[in-house]
Structure 1
Amino acid sequence: MILKNAFALCLALLPLTAVFAQKGIQQKDVTRLIRTLAADDMMGRQTFTPGIEKAAEFISNEFKAIGLKPLTGDTDFRQDFKMYALKPGKADVTLNKQSLNPEDFFYSTGHRKFEWEEKAPKPVFIGENDDFRQGLTTARRLGKDVLVVVHPKHQEIFKRYAGSFRQARPVMELGKGNTLIFVLSPLTEVTSFNIEIKNDAEEMPLANVAGMIPGKRANEFVVFSAHYDHIGVMQPVAGDSIANGADDDASGTTAVITLARHFKKQPKPERTLIFVAFTAEEIGGFGSQYFSQQLNPDEIVAMFNIEMIGKGSKFGPNSAYITGFEKSDFGTLLQQAVKGTAYNFHPDPYPSQNLFYRSDNATLARLGVPAHTISSVQIDQDKLYHSVNDEVESLDMAHMTNMVKAIALGAKDFVQGKKTPKRVDKTQVQ
């Protein structure tokens, strides 16, 4: 009887032991971090502004205070790189030997200068009864320079896209990538085509903030990430013009800093841990793109990308969901790790939102890394997304703190080298 009772007591204490293991993660510390990152003086942390530079300095100082090391080859926590803002300049388009009016075409290119002349091009036609967005996706997936002929029935959406594409567009490298030319025309056959483009280019500095805890296995990495940029200043609403980005994604950045502090207090990890705050997620994921080029993706065991965990999920308190759940067993392993505790993880309940491809995890997943985003936002109902009202006061700090604890517990076996998630099939990632 004594042995039976002792065994029962041990079983009862298992969940508590898991919770106690995360007791160093305190709500007061989480609150301090997110209040600083989402403060008005950060001015919404928009890329290329003093606000994001101030945020980068704050994160760097936190990493230094924690005792992280710069990434191999770096001397500090800033991972500086540059990109270019391409501003559309002069462009001339001739279709079937007829010059087009500027309002009847737009283009996407990474070239400062681009010329294309062809007597018998093979365009992608978006016909009267076709879906415009699907046609755009088809053109992009061809992986080459493409002429896209759009039927005038789609004039309204054509103009909306044209307005966006005619703004200055960021690119990582000049002269790289494919060029897509969109023309509004009822033609169903193109016998000749010519375009000449001359763009202006401005060099723009950016920086991720990254640090690490070296592990016993120097070439096996577990990455914890979030993006620290947001959308900056908007049109005033009730006198408030600062889009503070508390949930998106000061919450994720706060989690990354808190996890760094948590794991630094643990014994030396088996695997090397990288903690990174990405820049430029909101304008195309350029921070994660640069980061992915600095490491061998085959050496990244897993990536915990954390995005918008400041509010309770549809599954109830202390729960989150994992995007791309079916693409590896990453999510299943996390579920097993928190089984019997107050925390739980679920598959992404919003497949139509395409969330797996809307955050920085997608860049690494395309390289085969089990890279998934952990989130709890009810994205189909959240009215504060990308608004001036995404402020700390709208968040559930107890839930957010528990989400950080849940991630720490879920990652434990990865960190200690006991579990390794299956690789993502690169051929199944867009």
Structure 2
Amino acid sequence: MKRVITLILSLMVSHYGFAQSSIKQTEVERIVKTLSADDMMGRRTFTPGIEKASIFLQAEFKRIGLKPLTGLNSFEQKFSMYSLKPEQSTVVLNDTEIGKDKYFFMTGHESIAWTSPKQVFYIGENANYRKAFGEILSKKVDAVVLVNPKHQKTFANYHRRFNSSSMKESLGKGESQLFILADSVQVNDIKAELTNKVETLPLANVAGVIPGKRANEYVVFSGHYDHLGYQKAVEGDSIANGADDDASGTTAVVALADYFKKQGKPERTLIFVCFTAEEIGGYGSQYFSKQLNPDEIVAMFNIEMIGKASKFGANSAFITGFERSDFGTILQEAVKGSPYSFHPDPYTEQNLFYRSDNATLARLGVPAHSISSDQIDIDKLYHSVDDEFESLDMKHMTNMIRAIAVGAKSMVDGKATPKRVNKAEVD
């Protein structure tokens, strides 16, 4: 028994030692500094800045020796979204024309011409608007939704959001809803017409693979490489560099790809993906999730903001949705005896499990969790022009990448398989 314990400890120390020597702080600094530099212009989706970041990441994957995803001939996983912006619209309810500030449509269709609604819903004055809104959308039916004027302020916020433009994965599919701010609780008759201006928008994740002995068992390492671009200037600086959010996580993906490539062919196939469009709706991860069989994905390490020490101290991070699988427990066991530690998410009220790119695969049952060390409840640099390279704790960040490398080893080697997330319990 003592020999077994000694062997386990020596293997752990070996993994820890290799991570220490292989994942170098100078390399981590080089990558994150490049991604968060001013010439990346904040990496906003659909801008030259994010294209420049994509070119850099593709070059890194080529340097490391990764392979493209199956079926692709480059590291770009290209896809398109559609922007729909209302051009012309008219709504007549019960013979009264409704002002344009009193209604908005939600649709993936280029045009709508209704003379009668399929279903009618009502959000009353005492209803929870946000909850009712979500419940109506979840029904997935064409509908007219009458909103009591008591919700005017909240309605106005939604109107600004959905009446400017909306993003859709496809055109001419799915249901449509028309929300109207009105005293009425009845729809005797209605005439609703809408014409949208449609623009096709190209997007691309950056993804590479280390093929494993088990070709159809995947471990995914991910982070998003987009950010916010330009914001209101503060002391002459208007570039939201996104060093922690999420150049830090993207850097980890590159560093981990380099680390595992140096170890020869893994037992399981490893996918390293840098998602686009996280900040505007998680569209990159949504597209990615549809290209693979989720039942073949063993685990997803989504890395989000690891550039500063957590509330648990340096060299520690937390795992979102910790209780939804034993993914976190496996990581905790793997780093025992090292300087690193992983903890359950201390900010459950922030709903972080659903606010990053892990959520799409988690909803499909994958043990997909985000790893972060951000103290989001007190982080004054989050989504600001001050989220710059100089604000990062590079020693901590490097050690967190090493910690993930050590923690992931048993899953990569096929010795540990986390339990699946219960899809019925995921919102």
Aligned partner of 1:205 in structure 2 is: 202
Please list, as runs of the form range in 1=range in 2, the aligned pairs for 1:30-429 lying within 5 A after superposition.
30-118=28-116, 121-123=119-121, 125-429=122-426
* Residue deviations 1:15-67 (CA, integer Å, cap 9, x gap): 64442131201111100000000000000001111100000000000000000
State the distance in 1 between where 2:214 and 2:376 align: 38
Shift of 1:177: 3.2
Cα distance in 2 between the residues matched to 1:287 and 1:8: 43
Instruction: Describe the superposition over 1:323-361 as per-residue Cα deviations: whole angstroms up to 9, x where unpaired.
Output: 111221111111111122211111111111111111111
- What whole-Å deviation, never above 9, does each CA across 1:170-209 have from its counterpart, x for those lacking one? 2111123332321111223333333221101011111110
Q: What SS is found at the alignment partner of 1:133? A: helix
State the one-letter code of the partner of 1:380.
D
Q: TM-score scaled by structure 2?
A: 0.95
Corresponding residue SS for 1:305 = strand
Contact 2:309 2:374 in 1 (8 A): yes
Query: Do the aligned partners of residues 26 and 126 (structure 1) sit closer, same or farther apart at CA in structure 2, a change above 3 Å counting?
Result: same
Q: How far, CA to CA, are the matches of 1:271 and 1:185 in structure 2?
A: 57
- Give, in whole Å, the separation in 2 of the partners of 1:147 and 1:214: 50
8 Å contact kept, 2:117–2:143: no
TM-score with structure 1 setting the length: 0.95
What's the offset of the Cα at 1:289?
1.3
Task: Give the letter aligned to residue 371 of structure 1.
Answer: A
C-alpha distance 7-60 of structure 1, shift in aligned 2 (>3 A): closer
Q: CA deviation at 1:257?
A: 0.1
**Percentage of matched positions with identical amino acids:** 61
Structure 1: runs of 5 or more not aligned? none
Q: What displacement does 1:363 show?
A: 1.1
Distance 1:119 1:52 in 2: 42
Task: Return the offset for 1:11.
Answer: 8.8
Alpha-carbon distance in structure 2 between the residues aligned to 1:61 and 1:270:
26
Q: 1:67 to 1:136 in 2, by over 3 A?
A: same
Matched residue SS, 1:22: helix
Query: For residues 348 and 296 of structure 2, what CA distance do their matches in structure 1 show?
Result: 29
Hey, what's the Cα distance between the residues in 1 that align with 2:43 and 2:270? 26
* 1:151–1:338 distance in 2 versus 1, CA, 3 Å: same
| Counterpart residue type for residue 109 of structure 1 | T
Q: Structure 2 regions of 5+ residues with no counterpart?
A: none
Query: Aligned partner of 1:36: which letter?
Result: T
How many pairs align? 426
**CA drift at 1:379:** 1.0
- Backbone CA RMSD of aligned residues: 2.0
